[in-house]
Amino acid sequence: MNQVIIIHGMPDKEEYFSDVKPSSSNKHWLPWIQKKLAIKEILSQALEMPHPYNPIYKDHCEVFEQMKISNETILVGHSCGGGFLVRYFSEHPELHSKKIILVAPWIDPEPHELDTGFFDFEIDKNLTNRTELVVFYSTDDDEVCVKSAEIIKENLPNGIYHEFSDKGHFTEGDLGTKEFPELLEEILK
């Protein structure tokens, strides 16, 4: 069965605990993508990761490992969620998926912002031998995200890289909309 699993990024603590802001799995383009996939009868799930403002890798793993990953699974990770997927698949070479799509991936390049060890890993240079990797990044994103995309591209040159210059961090504010048609098109390929 085709399925899409979406992993959100890292909000700041105030945003996470706000009563008026949506949860991390229900903001930006995530609900729009899920609705578009539902219309096409494609099962999708946007995971809500624990304390994402200060992510702990093993806690993310516990949530992620509840999902059944197969050769028909498409994984989408935004920002820190994209970095999580790179680490998880680098550390689990037995896993295969149909496609991994990284949107504005962040792997916390030096000098590190996180002190949780979330990104203490080496990228498996064979990752693209077992799954298709697609990366969306924008040159007007924060420098650490552009650098993260460059590191991923350097280590995984066989991926497909979509470079933009006007999408920022691919958030609703940067896109000016909750819609992300380029991502939908990539998922449906």
- The pLDDT tens digits of the residues spanning 55-97 come to 999 999 999 999 999 999 999 999 999 999 999 999 999 999 9
Separation of alpha carbons 46 and 149, rounded Å: 22
Q: How do 73-78 and 43-47 pair as beta strands?
A: unpaired
On the CB side of 63, how many CA atoms lie within 13 Å of its CA? Answer: 20
Using the structure block, give the residue that is written with the tokens 């999580």: 84
Instruction: Say if domain 8-188 classifies as CATH 3.40.50.1820.
Output: yes
Give the start-to-end residue ranges of the domains of the chain: 8-188
Residue 164 CA: distances (Å) to CA of 6, 8, 84, 117: 21, 20, 22, 30
Inter-residue contact 132 to 99 (CB < 8 Å): yes
Helix 30-39 vs helix 181-188: angle between axes, to the nearest 10 degrees?
A: 40
Using the structure block, give the residue that is written with the tokens 């793993």: 61
Inter-residue contact 36 to 79 (CB < 8 Å): no
Separation of alpha carbons 92 and 109, rounded Å: 21
Separation of alpha carbons 100 and 105, rounded Å: 11
Q: What does the pLDDT profile of the chain (189 residues) look like in tens digits?
A: 689 999 999 999 999 999 999 999 999 999 999 999 999 999 999 999 999 999 999 999 999 999 999 999 999 999 999 999 999 999 999 999 999 999 999 999 988 899 999 999 999 999 999 999 999 999 999 999 999 999 999 999 999 999 999 999 999 999 999 999 999 999 999
